[in-house]
Amino acid sequence: MSEGRRGAARSETARLAILEATAALFAERGYDHLSIEGIATRAGVGKQTVYRWWPGKSALIAECLLEGMLLPERFAMPDTGDLRADVVAWLTEVEAVLESPTGEGLFRSLIAAASENVDVARRLRESLADPRLFLPRLLAARDSGEVRADLPVEEVSEALVGAVMLRALAHSPADPGLPRRLVDLTLGPRPS
Amino acid sequence: MSEGRRGAARSETARLAILEATAALFAERGYDHLSIEGIATRAGVGKQTVYRWWPGKSALIAECLLEGMLLPERFAMPDTGDLRADVVAWLTEVEAVLESPTGEGLFRSLIAAASENVDVARRLRESLADPRLFLPRLLAARDSGEVRADLPVEEVSEALVGAVMLRALAHSPADPGLPRRLVDLTLGPRPS
Amino acid sequence: MSEGRRGAARSETARLAILEATAALFAERGYDHLSIEGIATRAGVGKQTVYRWWPGKSALIAECLLEGMLLPERFAMPDTGDLRADVVAWLTEVEAVLESPTGEGLFRSLIAAASENVDVARRLRESLADPRLFLPRLLAARDSGEVRADLPVEEVSEALVGAVMLRALAHSPADPGLPRRLVDLTLGPRPS
Amino acid sequence: MSEGRRGAARSETARLAILEATAALFAERGYDHLSIEGIATRAGVGKQTVYRWWPGKSALIAECLLEGMLLPERFAMPDTGDLRADVVAWLTEVEAVLESPTGEGLFRSLIAAASENVDVARRLRESLADPRLFLPRLLAARDSGEVRADLPVEEVSEALVGAVMLRALAHSPADPGLPRRLVDLTLGPRPS
DNA sequence: GGCTAAGCGAGACGGTACGTCGAGTCTTGGG
DNA sequence: CCCAAGACTCGACGTACCGTCTCGCTTAGCC
């Protein structure tokens, strides 16, 4: 029954201190000025304790993302029954964060982290628009005639999240009309 | 009339050697194992010669991109008159590159580079689908009724390029039907 | 009457395993590549069990020396009645060991250990030529006229062992005539 | 004719700062608490600058010894014409240093360093009694009848320096009569 | 043609961070 | 209370590159 493990158990205190230090330094200085050495120092932890449990800084970011320490909860899409309005609301929130001075660099940093770690990429995408939540909404909308019947639903969130990322990468200025236009583009005109 | 400069002129040999070394090492080892030191050595050039002309490695990548040393020319979109077919053709080519073992990492590395240098981001986007070429095509298509009149044309290439990037980041497997579906999503069903 | 100690007694098995591991690793890798961690692992013992009973690696070496696990027994000086011949015999044995590939490094390592632990120094010296055995021989020799009456006997073994150490430190090559000459130097010419 | 060297020349400032830091830290903390990291910091120098020119800390000690930064000059043996008196004087000086609180540890540290680096061993020995100076004195003394004609002169300095080292290793207390007795032992009684 | 810049290959310099090893301490669970 | 296991903090290792700074040489417009 017993695991047979011997020796001291992993310290949850250390684990949290490390993740918090990572999140703080990531927000302050960005992904590529992030150093394991700095994280360990800030967390009051030996470097070895970091390396014992994580292979590198991208894995730390992935775990922070999973624990919701980097991006706000509010990116979850609301469900008011009106799909277009809900997606617009979600995109607007995302834009609001990207407009903020901290949010902008943070998001670009996340993309950098994502580019060297699949986990980060997947979790980043899910943080923005989880396909497992997005898809059912779209399928329902297709059934109810809210969107055209042959809409390629799988690609909708890819296109939306992708466009947002691309704009973040290119430092494109915030654009208040954008969410609506992107929704119009991907979901098509509201059926009369 | 003359520039008035004295002393030796900039060596084009050195410039090219540096860019070629950059492109080669970038392809071999990826963006974040790229080092100025390594580039200078491989190019048979002093480090100072690199620093004299470029501020850092992201600028080198930006210039390589501009010189077409990283991505093939063929990403240019053909113009057969049939917009949907042309876009599908372009997307198919992009996918072909991303499918290749070298292309995949290379593209992700470019995204990493883009995340820390706007120029790279812009040039990367233009290498894939230059809005200055894309937009006129779309406007014409809107005029000719090939796409619906209220299509938000500015956002089309953003959504397409963004979706491709997102899939590359997430190591999504190549999908032969994808180009058609993405075109269908963004340009809408072909008018009857 | 009883010691009053409670709990398990010290494990002789562990003690021996540790000393054997120490001797083996010391012979294999030398004093300063010796690590408590390595010893514990090799001995199949927890690090704490080492630290509970010894303050550090030099103490382990001292105990190994005491147990005769590092240097052979044969360094004991024979007693044939002829002092000079006996000392030459002893020196010849020492030289034989120092000539051997393993012995050379081992001896230098012992000097390193001795330099940071008095006990090791004393035991090393005693392993070579124990003054408690050496001195009586010399006093008897002085009485019997085998050596000059005013010979400073205390210093003889110091000079002999010291010369041997110095030659080991300096990687001096083995020299077959050396024992005889050193004996001649310190004990003086055989009286006629 | 020219060396063909290019690039900046080695910085003598850095070299000296490193050697001085080494000597200071060595005297303060002993050989095995000496760290390259500490030396570099104290010298105000990058670690690489140390590693570029020396393979490790024992080589640094060897060079310090060569530059006379560790042991005083006065170990040179005087030459008053009276060999025995000169050697006694030299030994007395050595003892004086070993008696001093700093000298004792420093000397043992040197032995530790010598045990892992032949150069240190040789230079240490030469610092105490350079055979190239010692030997001619002895040969002359043998010719002049000051010492017996069959004295094995090569071994004299080995025995003397060795005895001193051995006593240092074993933390033997200083003994004012020792120099005279050692000289008596090795050079024999003064001829009548 | 000699003078004065600038460019160049090379490479040393003071630094930061890497990822690893080992030190010595502490904790867990079993005997 | 001992033991094996092993996680902990901390310090140092030796390496890789950073970006700056000489070196000694070559190149080229200017007097």
Residue bearing tokens 């430092």? A171
CA distance C182 to C91: 9
* pLDDT for D3: 58
Q: Report the candidate in C188, C181, C185, C180 with the shortest Cα–Cα distance to residue C86.
A: C180
Q: Report the candidate in D14, D164, D34, D43 with the shortest Cα–Cα distance to residue D92.
A: D164
Query: What's the pLDDT tens digit per position in B13-50?
Result: 999 999 999 999 999 999 999 999 999 999 999 999 99
DSSP C72-118: -GGGSPP-SS-HHHHHHHHHHHHHHHHHSHHHHHHHHHHHHHHHT-H
Question: For strand E, is any atom closer than 7 Å to the CB of D42?
Answer: no
Note whether D117 and C143 are within 8 A (CB).
no
Q: Report the candidate in C167, C39, C150 with the shortest Cα–Cα distance to residue C99.
A: C167
Partner C contacted by D88 (CB < 8 A): no
Q: Which residue of B has its CA nearest to A180?
A: B152
CA distance D143 to D125: 26
CA distance D148 to D126: 25
- Between the CA of residue A138 and those of A78, A187, B139, D70, what are the distances in Å? 13, 9, 29, 81
Note whether C75 and C66 are within 8 A (CB).
no
Note whether A160 and A182 are within 8 A (CB).
yes
CA distance D26 to D40: 13
Partner A contacted by B56 (CB < 8 A): no
* B73 DSSP 8-state letter: G
> Which nucleotides in chain E lie less than 7 Å from some protein C-beta?
4-31
Question: For strand E, is any atom closer than 7 Å to the CB of B18?
Answer: no
Which nucleotide in the DNA or RNA is closest to residue D4, CA to C1'? F24
Q: Exposed, middle or buried, B150 (CB in 10 Å: 0-12/13-18/19+)?
A: exposed
Span CA (B67) to C1' (E21), Å: 46
Query: What's the pLDDT tens digit per position in D16-33?
Result: 999 999 999 999 999 999
> Which nucleotides in chain F lie less than 7 Å from some protein C-beta?
1-30
- Across A136-175, b (16+ Cβ under 10 Å) vs e yields ebbeebbeeebbeeebbbebbbbbbbbbbbbbbbbebeee
Q: Report the candidate in B166, B162, B159 with the shortest Cα–Cα distance to residue B185.
A: B159
Nearest by CB to C184, from D116, D152, D158: name it. Answer: D152
pTM of the model: 0.92
Sign of torsion, CA C18 C20 C26 C29?
negative
CA distance A65 to A158: 19
Lowest mean pLDDT among C91-105, D46-60, D154-168: C91-105
Query: Which residue segments constitute the domains of chain C, with CATH numbers given?
Result: 12-66 (1.10.10.60), 73-187 (1.10.357.10)
Question: For strand F, is any atom closer than 7 Å to the CB of B81?
Answer: no
Helix H or strand E encompassing A63? helix A57-66
CA distance D108 to D100: 13
Residue C135 has pLDDT above 70, yes or no: yes
Which chains are adjacent to chain D, needing at least 3 Cβ pairs under 8 Å?
A: C
* pLDDT for C4: 55
Question: SS3 of C151, please?
Answer: coil
Span CA (D31) to C1' (E17), Å: 27
- Between the CA of residue B28 and those of B22, B102, D4, D41, what are the distances in Å? 10, 8, 34, 37
Note whether B161 and B129 are within 8 A (CB).
yes
CA distance D157 to B110: 71
B107 or B75, higher pLDDT: B107
Query: What's the pLDDT tens digit per position in D120-151?
Result: 999 999 999 999 999 999 999 999 999 999 99
**How long a stretch of residues is chain B?**
192
Partner D contacted by C102 (CB < 8 A): no
Q: Report the candidate in A14, A13, A6 with the shortest Cα–Cα distance to residue A48.
A: A14
Instruction: Spell out the residues 6+ positions from residue D64 whose beta carbon is closer than 8 angstroms to its own.
Output: D19, D22, D23, D26, D70
Percentage with pLDDT > 90 across chain C = 80
CA distance D160 to D93: 13
CA distance A141 to A149: 9
Chain centroid, CA A108 distance in Å: 11
- The highest-confidence range among A33-47, C109-123, D90-104, by mean pLDDT, is A33-47
Note whether B151 and B142 are within 8 A (CB).
yes
Which residue type is seen at C74? R
C60 or A101, higher pLDDT: C60
- Between the CA of residue D68 and those of B139, C166, D118, what are the distances in Å? 85, 21, 17
Residue D2 has pLDDT above 70, yes or no: no
Question: For strand F, is any atom closer than 7 Å to the CB of A6?
Answer: yes
Question: For strand E, is any atom closer than 7 Å to the CB of B48?
Answer: yes
CA distance D86 to C127: 34
Span CA (D24) to C1' (F15), Å: 27
Residue B3 banded pLDDT, cuts 50, 70, 90: low
Instruction: Spell out the residues 6+ positions from residue D125 whose beta carbon is closer than 8 angstroms to its own.
Output: C166, C169, C170, D131, D161
Note whether C63 and C119 are within 8 A (CB).
no
CA angle B59, B64, B128 (to 5 degrees): 105
Question: SS3 of A175, please?
Answer: coil
- Residue D41 sits at φ, ψ, to 5 deg, of -60, -50
Question: For strand E, is any atom closer than 7 Å to the CB of C2?
Answer: no
If you average pLDDT over residues C120-129, what whole number do you get? 92
Instruction: For chain B, state the CA radius of gyration.
Output: 20
CA–CA min distance A10, chain B (Å)? 31
Asked if C touches B (at least 3 Cβ pairs < 8 angstroms), the answer reads: no
If you average pLDDT over residues C16-45, what whole number do you get? 96
CA–CA min distance B148, chain A (Å)? 10
Cβ of D169 and C116 within 8 Å? no
Lowest mean pLDDT among B99-108, C149-158, D164-173: B99-108
- Between the CA of residue A65 and those of A43, A106, B114, what are the distances in Å? 18, 12, 21
Beta strands in chain B (DSSP E): none
Q: Which residues of B fall within a CB distance of 8 Å from A115?
A: 31, 108-109, 111-112, 115, 169
pLDDT tens for chain A, residues 1 to 192: 455 678 899 999 999 999 999 999 999 999 999 999 999 999 999 999 999 999 999 999 999 999 999 998 778 899 999 999 999 999 999 989 888 888 889 999 999 999 999 999 999 999 999 999 999 999 999 999 999 999 999 999 999 999 999 999 999 999 999 999 999 999 999 877
Q: Which residues of A fall within a CB distance of 8 Å from B169?
A: 111, 114-115, 121, 125, 165
Q: In the structure encoding, which two tokens stand for residue B124, read together?
A: 């990367």
Residue bearing tokens 């469900």? A79
Residue D106 has pLDDT above 60, yes or no: yes
Residue D1 has pLDDT above 60, yes or no: no
Nearest by CB to B184, from A152, A160, A167: name it. Answer: A152
Question: For strand E, is any atom closer than 7 Å to the CB of D33?
Answer: no
CA distance B41 to B43: 5
Q: In the structure encoding, which two tokens stand for residue D3, read together?
A: 């060396």
CA–CA min distance B30, chain A (Å)? 10
Q: Which residue of B has its CA nearest to A182?
A: B155
Note whether A58 and A113 are within 8 A (CB).
yes
Q: Report the candidate in A62, A112, A30 with the shortest Cα–Cα distance to residue B114.
A: A112
Residue B1 banded pLDDT, cuts 50, 70, 90: very low
- Between the CA of residue B135 and those of A9, A174, B106, B131, B157, what are the distances in Å? 60, 20, 27, 5, 8
Percentage with pLDDT > 70 across chain C = 96
Nearest by CB to D152, from C112, C162, C181: name it. Answer: C181
Which residue type is seen at C109? S
Residue C1 banded pLDDT, cuts 50, 70, 90: very low
Span CA (B114) to C1' (F7), Å: 40
- Residue C14 sits at φ, ψ, to 5 deg, of -60, -45
Query: What's the pLDDT tens digit per position in B126-136?
Result: 999 999 999 99
* A9 DSSP 8-state letter: P
* pLDDT for C12: 95
